[in-house]
Amino acid sequence: MVMKTEWRLTVADVLERPLFRHAEVIAGHKGLHRPIRWVHILEEAENGHFLNGGELILATGLGFGQDAKKRRLYLAELIQRRAVGVCIEIGVYVDEISLELRELANEHDFPVIVFHEPVRFVDITLDLHERIVNGQMAALRDLEAYNRGLQKLSLQTQTIGKLMQYFSSSVERQTFYLPCDQPSNVIYVPAIPASQLPEANSMLQTCLLSPSGDGSGSTGISNDFVLMSHRRVLYQSIQMMGHVLAYVGVICEEDDVPGNDDYLLLKMDYTANALAQILMRKLFAAERALENEQKLVEEMLSGTSLSEELLRSALGIRLHQSCSYYAIVMQLEAEQKGAKEADDDVSFPELFSLFRSILSRHHFRMLLLDRGTRLYMVVISQQSATLARHHLEKAIAEMKQLCERLLPPSGRLSVGVSLQASQFAQASRHFQEAEQVVQYQEADSSHFFSDLGIFRLLAHIPQEQVLMPFIADYLGPLLRYDQENGSSLLETLRCYLEQKMAKQETADRLYIHRQTLYHRLEKIKDLLGPDFARPHHRLCLEIALRAYDSLAQQKKNGRTD
């Protein structure tokens, strides 16, 4: 099926013009469907860098004449620069086109047209440029009408299928809509034969959604790939705040790929924007409808004595149905900013629908509760423990990237994930586990409570009676020395332990000379004693450092619990 684009001038159309009545196509007949973007006179291969692609070239042969090598270089340069064809005047400079050049042109489906009688190139350029400009104006009017119809339709309906029908009827090609969170629910307009569905769905998902494909990172409007034999796909991502929600595209026959046809690509772009508006309205409407869900998470968080049967009933999960969940806490710590600057930032709640989309794509169901800069989530899965953690790690990485891109750059996002659990009545305890990860988490460390190790014990140690004296006993001399002398022995010790007491790595990490590190370590040894690096003492120092950081963070946040 070929889209009607009467305004578009192809090489075949040019041959119908009066000025080409004495012209003959001698090679590259398969490329006559190519659209012409401009007409250009070019006599030498050295000037090929002036071409942008899509030009029909006019030449007398002045630059390459009878030299066979120059002729081949000239034709190869035009092909490489993506010209759509060349018209050569047979006469003074060129008497014939050799078989070698014809074979080269046929190999690349590059039309070679010869004039057997002299022609005025100025008349050709004037005639064709007028046709091209008039065609472009007609295309702009058509695009404007299409966009108006698209916007009107998007305001009248929430049905994606109707927009896809409008898009398909306009481009007169096979179209598709692929949602990222439900990749099996591809919409094809018109419908494709059932026998081709499995292969088509599999190829679309592999090329667009898999990590090795273009996937969620795709943002351009000219992406394409081979779908099946003799078919290609042009596609556009549908995004909200930089996150890909779905893909829309057209499936073309191999001999009907538009190439540099901006007309079709712009229609696809307009369609993607209209679909994005519908998806945004649907996502925000869904968020507004989740008040009961938030109340349920509130009860789970507070430890309200609801039975397991009642909680599962509220969640729509059978009492004996096998499933598991994680309790997740996300905390955003942002510096105070001016009112004008703060107004420009994306807020946490604006990202909830995107979080839900990301988790859904990784086969999770999410329940959410918003408390300002802190977000509480129950993430439910029916996957195995290993697979669930793997998918959750990927989902958290995507959510963090989204926050880093859209939230205030001065903010710091912490994420804590509980142990995997199956009893919803115990959610309050698992939220405490996630809170503990947020409290003791270091940069680039694991988000999971199961990886917290010995530091899982710190939250259960009384601060004033045990923890603070413990910090004073092991770090007190360093803290006092740094405060009195403006030094950084505490940070030196921290880095030294993190680098497993490797001196060269520590010096490199601190950007100091190795001799300077030796002097600092000697001073630490004087203050903490000669046994500070022994295993037992080293473990106590690492715990004291982590506890010190945690208390400092709590003080910064105004918490003393």
Question: What pLDDT, on the 0 to 100 scale, is given for residue 277?
Answer: 84
Q: Which fold has domain 157-286?
A: Beta-Lactamase (3.30.450)
Mean pLDDT of 301-311: 84
Tell me: the pLDDT tens digits for 178-202? 988 778 788 899 988 888 888 888 8
Closest residue by Cα to residue 402 from 242, 541, 534: 242
- Domain spans, the chain: 11-130, 157-286, 291-452, 461-556
DSSP characters over 403-420: HHHHS-TT-EEEEEE---
Residue 10, Cα to own-chain centre: how many angstroms? 36
Question: What pLDDT, on the 0 to 100 scale, is given for residue 390?
Answer: 93
Mean pLDDT of the chain: 82
Residue 507 is classified by DSSP as H
Q: Is 414:333 a contact under the CB 8 Å cutoff? A: yes
Lowest mean pLDDT among 8-22, 112-126, 226-240, 304-318: 226-240
Tell me: the pLDDT tens digits for 396-420? 998 888 887 777 665 667 899 999 9
CA terminus-to-terminus distance, the chain: 69
Three-state secondary-structure class, residue 238: strand
Closest residue by Cα to residue 7 from 138, 181, 164: 138
Three-state secondary-structure class, residue 359: helix
Q: How confident is the model at residue 345 (pLDDT cuts 50, 70, 90)?
A: low
Write 212-221 long-range contacts (CB < 8 A, 24+): 215/244, 216/180, 216/243, 216/244, 216/398, 217/244, 218/244, 218/247, 219/244, 221/265, 221/266, 221/268, 221/269, 221/272
Mean pLDDT of 501-514: 91
> Which helix or strand (DSSP H or E) is residue 85 part of?
strand 85-89
What tokens appear for 414 in the block? 């912490």
Identity at 537, one-letter amino acid code: H
Cis peptide bond prior to 349, omega within 30° of 0: no
Query: Is the pLDDT confidence value at 287 over 70?
Result: no
Q: Which CATH architecture has domain 291-452?
A: 2-Layer Sandwich (3.30)
Q: Is 291-452 the same fold as 11-130? A: no
DSSP characters over 130-182: HHHHHHHHHHHHHHHHHHHHHHHHHHH---HHHHHHHHHHHHTSEEEEEESSS
Question: What pLDDT, on the 0 to 100 scale, is given for residue 3?
Answer: 43
Lowest mean pLDDT among 28-32, 123-127, 130-134, 259-263: 259-263
Q: Is 378:325 a contact under the CB 8 Å cutoff? A: yes
For residue 239, count other CB atoms closer than 10 A to its CB.
17
d(CA 50, CA 384): 59
Of 209 and 117, more confident = 117
Mean pLDDT of 289-315: 82
Question: What pLDDT, on the 0 to 100 scale, is given for residue 226?
Answer: 57
Using the structure block, give the residue that is written with the tokens 């349920």.
296
Mean pLDDT of 122-133: 89
Q: How confident is the model at residue 108 (pLDDT cuts 50, 70, 90)?
A: very high
Residue 526, Cα to own-chain centre: how many angstroms? 53
For domain 11-130, which CATH number applies: 3.10.20.30, 3.40.50.300, 3.40.1390.20, 3.40.470.10? 3.40.1390.20
d(CA 250, CA 248): 7
Tell me: the pLDDT tens digits for 142-169? 888 888 888 888 777 667 888 899 998 8
Question: What pLDDT, on the 0 to 100 scale, is given for residue 454?
Answer: 72
d(CA 274, CA 160): 10
